[in-house]
Amino acid sequence: MSAALTGAALAAPASTLGGAWKGKLDGFYELDAKFTVQGNSVTGVLRFAKMDFPLRGIWDNAKNLVTFKYTYAKEIHTVKATLRGSTLTGFDISPKGKQTAVSLTRVTTAGAYVMTGTVRDEKGNPIAGVEVFADHTAYYDMNAVGKTDAQGRYTITLAHQPGTWNAGAYLRGEAGGQPFEVRLSPDNDTPFDGSKGAVRDFTYKASTGATGKVYTTVAHSAVELDYETLEFTFTPDGPNAAGSTAPFNRKFVMGSGVPDIPLGRYRVSATQVLNGVRQQLLLSSRLQKNEATSVLAEFTDDSHYGKTLELFLKNP
């Protein structure tokens, strides 16, 4: 089974809900929670107003949604909250239907000379197998390296040396049969004192991560193109670097071609409006030399432009 992130695949079955959380109820009241997840069953304790309330519910990993119930003043309340990164946001719903905002943030701590944290995608899914590192800002070639586990978590032990450290990470994967590497920056990129340790989380944003640029070339000098109306449809031939197989459209950008396309192999078509008429163009690529209204194309390495996908265009 192919995946966009081979060797750093999204670990969807693993729940990131378990553990301690801290936040607010109605934006004002202090709220604490502790969740234990077994399969899709959730148990734990909700604490506010200096009282503990046992909870029980369901974790929907596909939707990153937790739904649980607890009893307050002899009334059963329902909480529904969605997990995004390190935050849970949702509502506390009373028996009469009144909704009160709930927001929680994961409680993560780091000890002296320890860097810890998580790596997730934009939807909050953990990413396993990401190489995370800490570099000392003063000592040359002093660093520490670790990898994320199935829940996207890592812990790195630092050298007992005075001074500060910077955090970074590399996500490596495969899209369209081609390997790629993305340098990740932490959500908080402030250098930290090693003697105090730090929590450094990372978020992989596919839209700005493993992307390349599409360039167009006319098949011969007689080709007529209206670049202002030139538009491409990209249909991934298997999951792209964003983990998607859904088709999408992009317009040509003067001076830039078609930028920021997630890496992968695609079936591409193109249209333009010429003399007031919508026209389906003929294309060819380095992968498919024969001209057609839809061609298979993939990114290649260019020493100057990086990852590029080249298309040759012709009027029908």
Token pair belonging to 154:
């890592």
Whats the size of the chain, residue-wise?
316
In single-letter form, the type of residue at position 77 comes to H
CB-side neighbour CA atoms (13 Å) of 89: 6
d(CA 74, CA 304): 68
pLDDT at 13: 36
Residue 4: Cβ within 10 Å count: 26
pLDDT in tens, the chain (316 residues): 233 343 333 333 345 788 889 999 998 899 999 999 998 999 999 999 889 999 999 999 889 899 999 999 999 999 999 998 778 999 999 999 999 999 998 887 788 999 999 998 887 788 999 999 999 999 988 999 999 998 889 999 999 999 999 999 999 988 877 788 889 999 999 999 999 999 999 998 876 678 899 999 998 888 999 999 999 999 999 888 887 899 999 999 988 899 999 999 999 999 999 999 999 999 999 999 999 999 999 998 876 778 899 999 999 9
Fold classification of 114-204 (topology level): Immunoglobulin-like (2.60.40)
pLDDT at 208: 66
Task: Decide if 35 contacts 81 (C-beta within 8 A).
Answer: no
Please state, in angstroms and as integers, the Cα–Cα distance from residue 313 to each residue in 15, 51, 169, 298, following that order. Answer: 47, 69, 39, 16
Secondary structure, 3-state, 131-145: EEEEEECCCCCCEEE
- What is the b/e burial string over 61-77, where b = at least 16 CB atoms within 10 angstroms of the residue's CB? beebbbbbebeeeeeeb
Task: Decide if 106 contacts 175 (C-beta within 8 A).
Answer: no
DSSP state of 159: P
Rg value, the chain, Cα: 25
Task: Decide if 300 contacts 205 (C-beta within 8 A).
Answer: no
| Architecture of the domain whose range is 19-106 | Beta Barrel (2.40)
Q: Is 35 helix (H, G, I), strand (E, B) or coil?
A: strand
Nearest CA to 55 among 30, 79, 38? Answer: 79
What phi and psi, each to the nearest 5 degrees, are found at residue 206?
A: -60, -30
Task: Decide if 216 contacts 252 (C-beta within 8 A).
Answer: yes
Which pairing describes strands 75-84 and 65-72: parallel, antiparallel, or unpaired? Answer: antiparallel
